[in-house]
Chain A
């Protein structure tokens, strides 16, 4: 995908941050900002209108947060790649990002150049999520239904949801329901 321009949709509730992110994206030759959104209501139409390759999604939004929006976006067929961009990248967030199907989780404290690199890596098909420690897995395991643990294990190891569904003999709606249930348990 590196030869093609990466279309990025910026989602943040803070106008100055949106402007900054778009300026940063447009400053790179291989990517461009194709639109913006700021909450759960403006995101779906923006995706429909702009058809982005990558959605750069702030975690802290009014109403539904970035994890929930990522999950909703990823539940669609032909969903764009999603990078969750958050000021609080903790171990629990990494687990939730995995379950929500995020392609990357980026700390707002990183250098802007790292953000740009992450957009490129994700567009190349890489997953850029922080490592989930065994300690966090144990904790998450205690909060989840034991039936859901295999799903968590596979997702954390980067196995795509379609393969997870096949391995567990679940159809997509059933898996979606389980993923939603897991996110609720971990919220």
Chain B
């Protein structure tokens, strides 16, 4: 809560400030009344009425101006509160409050943001861990059960094919094709579910491998510029960078109708910056609304990373993820 304790004039309570403003106005009014040659006769005449009306308007105006100055920070606080975006953490309110109450309110609000962001980060991390564990379990089961059975089936069909003739041979060949396709599908799903390359090759290697695979499967040329000197991130942050790359490339392949894509990973302010760009037809507005971006933002949040989506000129989308230095493994 550093933002609210600003150096400056000493603070006083809101009540006292309103009271002093009013008091100042009244004292000045009375003093003017005493020193100026104005009098009120009875019954009041027209000229005196005009003077009194002018005096009253002047008093009220000065009062209004003073009170407005006092209450402006409250209005600013409300406006800032209204623009806080839960998916862009790190925003804090600083309204230059002079009164104790507004300062306290600002501090309490900032404190609440701290706690909410902290809790959100922790719960996202838990969610990611649970999700990864689930994916690992599913991929293992897929590989060990379905995959192995399909492998066995394929082997048996192949043996049967050796002694088959005529129509039977044709049918067996079709079956073999189907089983091979299914096996390939299972393997693709297993690969997608489990970034085992991350454990094998480290982040840079895994991203390189991912690009190669996506490129091979989709035919999309992907230009890579992966700096090997990037600092080693925490396992959670590595997973975030990997999944954001995976998700972005999947989006490019599925929706962008792009001719090419680039993936860049560089050291950035003690952490790393990942940039994925394409030259396709997607627009930043469309992407903002897509749930894929939301999911990536939520992933980014849990390691305190910033995800930005930008429209490129002449066409295409650029997604960039900045992971801060405090996610670097010591």
Residues of A with Cβ closer than 8 Å to B? 14, 16-17, 19-21, 23-24, 27, 60, 87-88, 90-93, 108-109, 111-113, 135-136, 138-139, 142-143
Contact = CB atoms under 8 A, between A and B. Distances in A.
Q: Which 9 A-B pairs have the closest CB atoms?
A: A20-B155, A16-B152, A112-B158, A92-B200, A14-B148, A20-B152, A23-B159, A17-B152, A139-B205
A85 to B, nearest CB: 10
Contacts of B158: 24, 111-113
Interface of B: 143-144, 147-149, 151-156, 158-159, 162-163, 180, 183-184, 187, 190, 196-197, 200-202, 204-205, 208-209, 228
A88 B196 contact: yes
Contacts of A136: 205
B197 A90 contact: yes
B209 A17 contact: no
A51 B293 CA distance: 58
Nearest to A17: B152
Given A20-B159, A109-B183, A92 B201 contact: yes
A23 B155 contact: yes
B156 A23 contact: yes
A59 B22 CA distance: 85
B190 to A, nearest CB: 8
Contact of B151 (A17, A90, A113, A135): A17
Contacts, number: 75
B202 to A, nearest CB: 7
B200 A90 contact: yes
Interface residues of B, dominant DSSP? helix
Contacts of B208: 135
Given A90-B197, A92-B197, A139-B202, A16 B183 contact: no
A92 to B, nearest CB: 4
Contacts of A108: 147, 151, 183
Given A17-B151, A87-B187, A112-B154, 19 more contacts: A14-B148, A14-B149, A14-B151, A16-B149, A17-B155, A19-B156, A23-B159, A24-B155, A60-B144, A88-B196, A91-B201, A92-B197, A108-B151, A109-B180, A109-B187, A111-B158, A112-B159, A139-B201, A142-B228
Contacts of B202: 139, 143
Residue among B152, B155, B201, B202 facing the most chain A CB atoms (10 A cut-off): B155
Contacts of A112: 154-155, 158-159
A27 B162 CA distance: 8
A136 B163 CA distance: 43
